Amino acid sequence: MKPPTPQQAQAGPKEDSQKELEEKAKRLPTRVWEAIKGNAALAGVLAALLAAVIGLFGVFYQQWVASNMAEQERQETLVQTYFDDMGDLLLDTDQPLRKANQSDEVSVLAQAKTLSVLEALDSEHKKSIVQFLYNAQLLRIDAPVVSLRGANLRGTDLRGADLSDADLSNADLSDARGITSEELEKQAKSLEGTTMPDKTEHD
């Protein structure tokens, strides 16, 4: 039998040392657990610490849920207030909004309300506003009453929204979801100066 080479001789102790470290690592959790079980005071401290961490997590979670609920209520209130105000303008017997021109005071007021509420809403609620304007026939290209010029519609979820013949000139639809730039071009009647979902500006 050939005697081991110097390299093999050096490798032997290293391998043994590595195995010892691995065995110690495997036994460490058991030793720690045994130490904890054998020390009532330490076990009590760790139990109290764990309970505090769990309790703190529960508090943070409750705060997060409450914050989300409050934000959703705020968004719903903004949308409902907008619908109520626009409904009053639409039903006004002296100067109904639907028959107004863009330069009329009632139309300017409606546009200001629209741009303001869009700035404060998330993408899902923005979709509700756009669909409302379309259904109320306020965005039609042949007689647009409310202009979305400069409207913040970034990230709006437009899945299922019907924008046929809508005038979306100069609106910001960058990162809009649920509709591609190509689909928007097929639906909307006017996209002059509009920032498209792919962030390009339409001619």
The tokens describing 167, both together, are 């005038």
- Tokens 């010892």 belong to residue: 20
Q: Per-domain residue ranges for the chain? A: 75-187
The tokens describing 80, both together, are 């409902």
pLDDT tens string 58-97: 777 777 777 778 888 999 999 999 999 999 999 988 888 9
* Terminal Cα distance for the chain, rounded: 86
- CA–CA distance, 158 with 137 (Å, rounded to integer): 18
pTM over 0.75: no
CA 60 to chain centre: 20
pLDDT tens string 129-185: 988 988 888 877 677 788 777 888 888 888 877 777 777 888 898 998 888 888 888
DSSP track, 92-129: -SSS-GGG--TTSHHHHHHHHHHHHHHHHS-HHHHHHH
- CA–CA distance, 82 with 136 (Å, rounded to integer): 13
